[in-house]
Amino acid sequence: MANRDFLTIDDFDTEDKTVLVRVDLNSPMDPEGNILDDMRIRSHVATVKELKNAKVVLLAHQSRPGKNDFTTMSPHASKMSKYLGQDIKYIDDIFGTYARQKISSMEKGDVALLENVRFYSEESLERPVSEHEKTHLVRKLAPLFDIYLNDAFSVSHRSHLSIMGFTNVLPSGAGRIMEKEVTSLDLGKSGGGRPSIFVLGGAKVDDSMKVIEHVLSNNDVDRVLVTGLVGNVMLAASGVDIGEENMRFIEKQGYTDQIDRAKTLLDKFNDKIGVPQDLALNDNGKRIEVGVNELATTNHPVNDIGLETIVSYSKEIENAKTVVLNGPAGVSENEEFALGTREIIKAAAKASYSIVGGGHISAEVLNMGVEDSFYHLSTAGGACIDYLAGEKLPGVEILKEVK
Going by the annotation, the residues of the binding site are 24-26, 40, 61-64, 118, 158, 333, 358-361
For residue 356, CA distances in Å to 243, 377, 385 come to: 31, 5, 11
Distance between CA atoms of residues 314 and 341, nearest Å:
11
Binding residues for substrate: 24-26, 40, 61-64, 118, 158
10 Å Cβ neighbour count for 141?
25
Please, are residues 337 and 280 in contact by the beta-carbon 8 Å criterion? yes
Q: At what angle do helices 257-269 and 205-217 cross, to 10 degrees?
A: 20
Binding residues for ATP: 333, 358-361
| Alpha-helix residue ranges (DSSP H) falling in 12-73 | 39-43, 45-50
Q: At what angle do helices 307-318 and 339-350 cross, to 10 degrees?
A: 20
Binding residues for (2R)-3-phosphoglycerate: 40, 118, 158
Q: What angle do CA 5, 6, 11 make, to 5 degrees?
A: 120
> Of all helices (H) and strands (E), which one includes residue 338?
none
- Residue 113's DSSP bridge partners are 58, 90
Phi, psi of 2 (to 5 degrees): -60, 160
10 Å Cβ neighbour count for 202?
24
